[in-house]
Amino acid sequence: MTKRQEQILQIVKDEGPITGENIAEHLNLTRATLRPDLSILTMSGYLDARPRVGYFYAGRPTSSVIAERLHKLVVNDYKAVPIVVAESATVYDAIVTLFLEDVGTLFVVNQKGLLAGVVSRKDLLRASLGNKGLESIPVSIIMTRMPNIVTCSPEETLLDTAQKLIEFQIDSLPVVRPNEEDPKTFELLGRITKTTISRAFVELGKESNV
């Protein structure tokens, strides 16, 4: 929307119903100059016009209402607790944790509690195929490491994280913030998964339908 279209919308909100002539006066423009803007605002559903009365504010179009609402959902309000294993854990330990905690992805942390890696169900399945010594293989050998871990920040929108989950074909994103002492390393704050996104989707559908 152009600046002028925003001004028109505000005038109609404040003073509507109002004629095109009167809107033009407010802006020190001619009615003819405003004609294209008024057409766009009417066609896109923001304004409604009635003969001999003038322009009304018709409410925002559906798509704009939804996009605006979705862009307000932020990671920090939706993140779940991250499930972690130590870097020194074995592949066997990781599999046990996966089943006990009933999650799809584990985060691996180093001795300082900083994010060291990510292990998915697929990584564990691959490792377990034909390997008998799962108790002796460290999880750090099969995990994905930085800089190959896709992360998100607490301030990011849920929409951006959903986009990342799809684009990188992963199930889970660690929510991180740079470590103050060494900004190349990350503190682990939570997790966002496709379950998180599905839950937000269900919540939106339940919002009070007056």
Contact residues: a copy of itself, CB under 8 A: 1, 16-17, 44-46, 53, 56-71, 95, 98-99, 102, 104, 121-122, 124-126, 128-130, 132, 134, 158-159, 162-163, 165-166, 169, 171, 193-195, 197-202, 204-210
Contact between residue 68 and residue 57 where contact means Cβ atoms under 8 Å apart = no
Q: State the Cα–Cα distance between residues 172 and 6, nearest whole angstrom.
A: 40
Nearer to a copy of itself, 35 or 122 (CB): 122
Nearer to a copy of itself, 162 or 189 (CB): 162
Q: State the amino acid at position 4 in one-letter form.
A: R
The nearest distance, CB 163 to a copy of itself, in angstroms, is 5
The nearest distance, CB 114 to a copy of itself, in angstroms, is 27
Q: State the Cα–Cα distance between residues 142 and 124, nearest whole angstrom.
A: 8
Structure-block tokens of residue 65: 């209402």
The nearest distance, CB 192 to a copy of itself, in angstroms, is 10
Tell how strand 105-109 and strand 84-86 pair up. Answer: parallel
DSSP 3-state assignment of 62? Answer: helix
Nearer to a copy of itself, 30 or 163 (CB): 163
The nearest distance, CB 52 to a copy of itself, in angstroms, is 12
CA neighbor of 58 nearest in space, from 73, 48, 71: 48
Nearer to a copy of itself, 189 or 192 (CB): 192
Nearer to a copy of itself, 48 or 187 (CB): 48
DSSP 3-state assignment of 190? Answer: strand
DSSP 3-state assignment of 181? Answer: coil
Helices 91-101, 121-128: crossing angle, 10 deg rounding? 130
The nearest distance, CB 180 to a copy of itself, in angstroms, is 32
The nearest distance, CB 175 to a copy of itself, in angstroms, is 16
Nearer to a copy of itself, 2 or 28 (CB): 2
Q: What is residue 147's DSSP assignment?
A: T
Structure-block tokens of residue 58: 């018709």
